[in-house]
A and B are shown apart, each in its own frame.
Chain A
Amino acid sequence: MTLLSLHGIRKSFGAVDVLHGVDLSVAAGEVVGLVGDNGAGKSTLMKTITGIYRADTGSIEFDGKDILALDPGQRRQLGIEMIYQDLSLAKQQDVASNIFLGREPTKRLFGLFPGFVDKGEMDRQAAKMIERLGAHLPSINRSVGSFSGGQQQTVAIARALTFNPKLVIMDEPTAALAVREVQSVLDLIRRLKSEGIAVILISHRLNDVLSVTDRIVVLRHGRADADLVTARTNMNEVVSRIVGGGDIAAAAAHEQRG
């Protein structure tokens, strides 16, 4: 079942054309890798999906609905969630505070004064979410900034899940992580898939993309240049598609760089 489908998406900023008619589809529970060289249009494409940018022409359907006219808040309501590379965490606050920031459950103090945060309830639910992800954190009451990069990523994913998303877009989730941590984040992505949540993974780390995705879409010069089934491709093919055509020498050079 197709969850998200984009047709002929074009976007330009002034005289600069960034996207020249992109087609992309993602099925429910599918993990799609989005790769491409710097400036290929990955970020712009993602922002037209979350609604931060409005596509100039083309159509975007999500869950059977035309969402082209919706703003980011409405699209989030429908189940599109994005985790940015900087994670947008409040580092001196604890896990529950971050997961529930802006949506804290409240109770009345002494049954009288409204607006008091129900910290116990928050902690319980936060612990449940972390558990659901099969992740382990040193303590739920500690400030997020004292955690490792992978643990912080876990908190950001747990927060995204509280909106019950159908699609989670992750921007370079493994870029700043230690090797051991990369595995746990990839495990989290598999966990999301097993719960029927689709994931679009933007990454420069092709090993990660090859190990966790179902399909790989290569963006090049503002077009979806290739749509590869992960099980039937390999590093060389992906690299040569990123740098363009069958230019094997350039492919080898790119591989050595990255």
Chain B
Amino acid sequence: MASEQPGFWARVQRASVERLHIRLESLVVLLALGTAMALLSPYFLSLSNFLNILLATSTIGVLAIAATFVIGSGGLDLSLGSVMGLAGVAGAFVAVNLGWPSVLAVIACILAGAIAGYINGQLVTRAFVPAFIVTLGMLGLARGLALVISQGRAIYGLPPEIVYIGQGRPFGIPMPVIIFVLTAIVAHAVLAYTRFGRHTLALGDSEGAARAAGIRVEHHRRIIYTLSGALAGLAGLLFTARVNAGDPTAGINYELTAITAAIIGGTNLFGGRASILGTMIGALIMGVLQNGLTLLAVQSYYQQMAIGAVLILAVFIDQYQVRKESRV
């Protein structure tokens, strides 16, 4: 009888997956990474550095939330970084070149992202072009449009209200961190506890089962891609406000980091399993990794390599686990 009982670790693992929707391994990796960095660098363990990590993670984190929804639904959005760049330029253009009120600039950021995402969704569900190709094409389209709008130069001179979104520190906490955490809480509630979120995962799990259950599959996908674009727009706003410029080259390669964060957090690359809580751990792992490597004075070129390697490693481990579980 005792031999049939799964071990303590296995039970805790199962409970964390079933109840909290996170893979415990990612939490262990985060703690191990943090400990290693603390031992290697005397500057790592400090409140200001902790806030630095969160601040640096906020943009990527919002993109990773978008990636989690899309990948969880069985899709893919490679245009996240480019759409983020386009949205930032759109917002800066509205505020600076047009001189419109800051509220409209904020709306322009998110709307630009949502429109790009909506186009992605339409093409995926109506034109039957694979998501990989559609969003790869959008990666080029959005980046090009950002360069066209800004004529290839960063747009400076944002109004103070927008700069506050990026640089303000109410209660000593950076505004982007506050916005990022609030977004994550809402996204977690939506994905884990609402019908919308459950249908998203069911759709990624088996499109046939979702269709048989009466879920409007194509409609749902269009909403997911639009949501993904809107979140990329929000990320663009955070970035633009933080650096105080609408930079058309903002967000290059960010989709790589965002998708990596989602996968490390336990999102199944092929859909059906995903959690925002897990993605947040994944995003923090990426943040700690980049912060630590910077503190250790490792060149940023190597950081890029590290992120790519981590992505492949994370998918390898995930697939290894899936194969192991399916044998049981």
Residues of A within 8 A of B (CB): 73, 84, 86, 88-94, 97-98, 101-104, 106, 109, 115-117, 119, 141-142, 145-146
B209 touching A117, Cβ below 8 Å: no
B193 and chain A: residue at smallest CB distance: A116
Residues from chain A with Cβ under 8 Å of B210 in the complex: 90, 101-102
Give the contact-size bracket for chain B. Answer: 20 to 34
Q: Assuming A88-B206, A92-B273, A102-B199, what are 5 further A-B pairs, CB within 8 angstroms?
A: A89-B206, A91-B272, A109-B193, A115-B194, A146-B328
Residues from chain B with Cβ under 8 Å of A146 in the complex: 325, 328
Can you name 13 A-B pairs with beta carbons within 8 Å? A86-B208, A88-B212, A89-B209, A90-B210, A90-B272, A91-B205, A92-B272, A93-B272, A101-B209, A102-B213, A115-B196, A117-B193, A145-B326
Would you list which residues of chain B between 191 and 230 have a CB under 8 Å from chain A? 193-196, 198-199, 201-202, 205-206, 208-210, 212-215
The docked-state distance in angstroms from the alpha carbon of A115 to that of B206 is: 22
Given contacts A102-B215, A104-B198, A117-B195, contact A88 B209 (CB under 8 A): yes
Q: Is B135's beta carbon under 8 Å from chain A?
A: no
Residues of B within 8 A of A (CB): 18, 189, 193-196, 198-199, 201-202, 205-206, 208-210, 212-215, 268, 272-273, 325-326, 328
The docked-state distance in angstroms from the alpha carbon of A92 to that of B210 is: 13
Given contacts A102-B214, A109-B189, contact A88 B195 (CB under 8 A): no
CB A224 to nearest CB in B, in angstroms, measures 28
The docked-state distance in angstroms from the alpha carbon of A106 to that of B193 is: 10
Residues from chain A with Cβ under 8 Å of B328 in the complex: 146
B194 and chain A: residue at smallest CB distance: A115
Q: Is the interface of B mostly helix, strand, loop or mixed?
A: helix
What 8 A-B pairs come out closest when comparing CB atoms? A102-B213, A90-B205, A92-B272, A101-B213, A88-B212, A88-B209, A102-B214, A90-B202
Residues from chain B with Cβ under 8 Å of A117 in the complex: 193-195, 198
Residues from chain B with Cβ under 8 Å of A90 in the complex: 201-202, 205-206, 209-210, 272
CB B323 to nearest CB in A, in angstroms, measures 13
CB B285 to nearest CB in A, in angstroms, measures 23
Given contacts A109-B193, A117-B195, A146-B328, contact A93 B212 (CB under 8 A): no
A97: contacting residue among B189, B198, B215, CB under 8 A: B198
The docked-state distance in angstroms from the alpha carbon of A104 to that of B215 is: 12
The docked-state distance in angstroms from the alpha carbon of A28 to that of B148 is: 70
A115 and chain B: residue at smallest CB distance: B194
A115 touching B195, Cβ below 8 Å: yes
CB A158 to nearest CB in B, in angstroms, measures 14
A107 and chain B: residue at smallest CB distance: B193
The docked-state distance in angstroms from the alpha carbon of A91 to that of B326 is: 11
B205: contacting residue among A93, A104, A109, A141, CB under 8 A: A93
Residues from chain B with Cβ under 8 Å of A73 in the complex: 214
A87 and chain B: residue at smallest CB distance: B209
Residues from chain A with Cβ under 8 Å of B193 in the complex: 109, 116-117, 119
B205 touching A88, Cβ below 8 Å: no
B328 and chain A: residue at smallest CB distance: A146
CB B209 to nearest CB in A, in angstroms, measures 4
